[in-house]
Amino acid sequence: MSKTAQAFKNGKAFIPFVTAGDPDLETTKKLIIAMAESGADLVEIGIPFSDPVAEGVVIQQADERALSSGTTTDKIFDMVSSLRKELPTLPLAFMTYINPIYVYGSEKFLARCEELEVDAVIVPDIPYEEKQELLPYCEKHGVDLISLIAPTSEERIKTIAAEAQGFLYCVSSMGVTGVRSEIKTDIGAMIRNVREVSSIPTAIGFGISNPETARKMACHADGVIVGSAIVKLCAQYGRDCVEPVRAFVKEMKDAIRDL
Amino acid sequence: MSKGRFGIHGGQFVPETLMNAVNELEEAYNRYKDDPEFIAENERLLNEYAGRPSLLYYAEKMTKDLGGAKIYLKREDLNHTGSHKLNNVIGQILLAKKMGKTRVIAETGAGQHGVATATVAALMGMECEIYMGKEDTDRQALNVYRMELLGAKVHAVTTGTQTLKDAVNETLREWTRRVNDTHYVLGSVMGPHPFPTIVRDFQSVIGKEIKAQLLEREGRLPDAVLACVGGGSNAMGAFYEFIPDKSVALIGCEAAGLGVDNPKNAATVANGTLGVFHGMKSYFCQDEYGQIAPVYSISAGLDYPGIGPEHANLHDTDRAQYVPVTDDEAVNAFEYLSKTEGIIPAIESAHAVAHAMKIAPDMGRDKIMVINLSGRGDKDVAAIARYRGVEIYE
């Protein structure tokens, strides 16, 4: 079993997301440590991109703040390297777009991931049909390439799930990332489709921002992913976001731990 | 697996939410592109509504003035709505209707594609929303009003650089929000498969007409075909028919803004590197970490940091040549064509005219060159006046 999948061994998994470098990388490192201490099972580290087409306005603005503070892929690797000294085993995933990886050099990027024990990469603009762009490098370096399914996936779900690695990222709603008042998709049906072909852990993301929704979603799946609600706290509190995020992550993990 | 490749370029790099939509589009296109009824309906609209075939005009004064190659202008500026954009929009909205879509969305730079989309949406009774960078809604304010007049809702995009690439980002986001009843009328030979192929096919009427019209007039093929390139739809439309005719030089003119050595430019082939963005592998203006560069051109329609994947491959295989043209050169050509031939070209198309002015004198008088005049310049008059220091606002 990959280390990514082990994140689902501690009850329902809580997977927070943070944009690296928002407002600076030192704060990002403190945030990840605080998240781990308050129960995060896997942390998604967003590598900011100038044109994040799958993101809503909250994460778009976080990417802009991170890039304008001088964040680069190399500096993020350095931060993770220093983070690994304090958190040697916490499962970590990078979330970014294909262009920053491709232009950095896919081989070089995934070799760095292996070195830093980053367990998975989530690349929303690599659909099933294009996964050969990254998969050979991921396999060579033992990094899981996370697959996504969406409310529109329908008959594609089984094909995607059958080959998925680490965990399956279930996009809860149409559209881009961001806080939503309700999730209307029949998540149960999506997960049942997955279960027909695979026992891979599933995590639901997009639009989850409070303990109630997290509980509801965690009844269907093995974990929940929360991004924009956390990034909003970073935007609101800037360098002082560590304690508010610590409290939020604890509240969310507590809400789903015993389901 | 990966589909829609041109050499190494192209592909379908979009979020999973859109994959069924692009697959359905491909299926529908394959079903209808050879359907006699669809072809007849498309042709009827091109001829009776758009005003095709467009003229191939011998620019005698310009030819004599430059003293070299015989210059023909392909008058796409005479199409209804004033540019080549309508060729693609008619085909795509017809296809969207066949697919049962009731709403269309589109990005626009200069506003030409937005106006064309709003126009055909009005004609075919489709709901229409257009995404346009805030900087472009400011510099092309008249086109914004024109789209609204045609019944479209125009969204000024305030993210990123507030230009064409951000308009594409926002239209892609909107498509993921509402994909079931909505077709994204992509305006150039870019984006995920099947768009580069569909747009090229609908625009290829330009090159087919050039070939037939020139054969009738001159009894032979041209020696060179020139067109401006942003994403590259008018150029692809003009070039495609001539790709197998190796004697025809294909020349794409990119927007070099303040110069290729100045950061303020949009010359993708001159300055770009390989990347994967907006659904496609191609060349992009970007930094060493793959962050897309904030490009610049006086022309809102060429102000795009990428180039269509088929162009990238024509460049790789040396079948076409891509040359940079600066703002200054384009503005000079804008004025030159106006004064010499009484034709005010779009500032986009003026980039191709500018390069023609550079190379025509050195070509023999027995040579023939065709410039694709992709659009008319009415929309640019106020901006060019301001460029020359005359404070005119629309």
Which chain A residues are within 8 Å of B20, Cβ to Cβ? 152-154, 156
Could you tell me if B393 lies within 8 Å of chain A, comparing CB atoms? no
Q: Cβ contact (<8 Å) for B19 and A129?
A: yes
Contact predicate B239/B189, CB 8 Å: no
Could you tell me if B116 lies within 8 Å of chain A, comparing CB atoms? no
- Could you report the per-residue pLDDT of B21-52, keeping only the tens digit for each? 999 999 999 999 999 999 999 999 999 999 99
Structure tokens at B57: 């005009």
How close does chain B come to A171, measured CA to CA in Å? 8
Q: Cβ contact (<8 Å) for B20 and A60?
A: no
| pLDDT > 80? residue B393 | no
Catalytic residue among B54, B76, B83, B85: B85
Using CB atoms, pick whichever of B2, B165, B178 lies closest to residue A132: B2
- Span B48-77, average pLDDT: 98
Which chain B residues are within 8 Å of A175, Cβ to Cβ? 17, 173, 176-178
Which chain B residues are within 8 Å of A98, Cβ to Cβ? 13, 276
- What residues contact residue B156 under an 8 Å CB cut-off, 6+ apart? B132, B133, B134, B137
Using CB atoms, pick whichever of A53, A154, A156 lies closest to residue B169: A53
Using CB atoms, pick whichever of B13, B173, B286 lies closest to residue A126: B13
What part of B 291-310 touches A (C-beta under 8 Å)? Answer: 291-292
The chain-wide mean pLDDT, for chain B, equals: 96
User: What does the pLDDT read at residue B22?
Assistant: 97
**B156, containing H or E segment:** strand B153-157
Structure tokens at B344: 């005010």
User: What does the pLDDT read at residue A91?
Assistant: 98
- Could you report the per-residue pLDDT of B327-352, keeping only the tens digit for each? 999 999 999 999 999 999 999 999 99
Which chain B residues are within 8 Å of A125, Cβ to Cβ? 13-15, 276, 279
- Span B124-148, average pLDDT: 94
Return the closest-CA partner of residue A45 out of A5, A99, A84, A1.
A84
User: What does the pLDDT read at residue B2?
Assistant: 82
Q: Cβ contact (<8 Å) for A60 and B176?
A: no
What part of B 1-60 touches A (C-beta under 8 Å)? Answer: 1-3, 11-21
Edge to edge, what strands does the sheet with B5-6 contain? Answer: B5-6, B9-13, B279-284, B273-277
For residues B188, B194, B199 and B205, what is the CA-based torsion angle, rounded to 10 degrees? 160
**B106, containing H or E segment:** strand B103-108
Return the closest-CA partner of residue B92 out of B28, B154, B40, B148.
B28
**How many other CB atoms sit within 10 Å of the CB of residue B219?**
7
Confidence class of residue B1 from pLDDT cuts 50, 70 and 90? Answer: low
How close does chain A come to B236, measured CA to CA in Å? 25
Q: Cβ contact (<8 Å) for B1 and A129?
A: yes
Confidence class of residue B289 from pLDDT cuts 50, 70 and 90? Answer: very high
φ/ψ of residue B324, rounded to 5:
-85, 140
**Which one-letter DSSP state was computed for residue A7?**
T
Which chain A residues are within 8 Å of B166, Cβ to Cβ? 51
- How distant, in Å, are the alpha carbons of B228, B267, B268, B300 from that of B283? 16, 10, 6, 19
Using CB atoms, pick whichever of B2, B17, B275 lies closest to residue A152: B17
| pLDDT > 90? residue A141 | yes
User: What does the pLDDT read at residue B51?
Assistant: 98
Return the closest-CA partner of residue A142 out of A168, A162, A119, A160.
A119
Contact predicate B264/B258, CB 8 Å: yes
- Could you report the per-residue pLDDT of B220-247, keeping only the tens digit for each? 999 999 999 999 999 999 999 999 999 9
How close does chain B come to A183, measured CA to CA in Å? 13
User: What does the pLDDT read at residue B394?
Assistant: 63
Judge whether B247 counts as a catalytic residue.
no
3-state DSSP call for residue B94? helix
Confidence class of residue B140 from pLDDT cuts 50, 70 and 90? Answer: confident
How close does chain A come to B199, measured CA to CA in Å? 22
- How distant, in Å, are the alpha carbons of A209, B109, B135, B244, B255 from that of B138? 37, 11, 5, 42, 20
Return the percentage of chain B with pLDDT > 70, whole number: 99
Q: What is the interface pTM, i.e. ipTM, of the complex?
A: 0.96
Return the percentage of chain B with pLDDT > 90, whole number: 94
Judge whether B107 counts as a catalytic residue.
yes
Which chain B residues are within 8 Å of A73, Cβ to Cβ? 289
User: What does the pLDDT read at residue A1?
Assistant: 58
- What residues contact residue A168 under an 8 Å CB cut-off, 6+ apart? A146, A147, A148, A149, A160, A161, A194, A198, A200, A201, A202, A203
User: What does the pLDDT read at residue B153?
Assistant: 98
- Span B314-336, average pLDDT: 98
Which chain A residues are within 8 Å of B178, Cβ to Cβ? 174-175
Structure tokens at A197: 């072909």
Judge whether B83 counts as a catalytic residue.
no
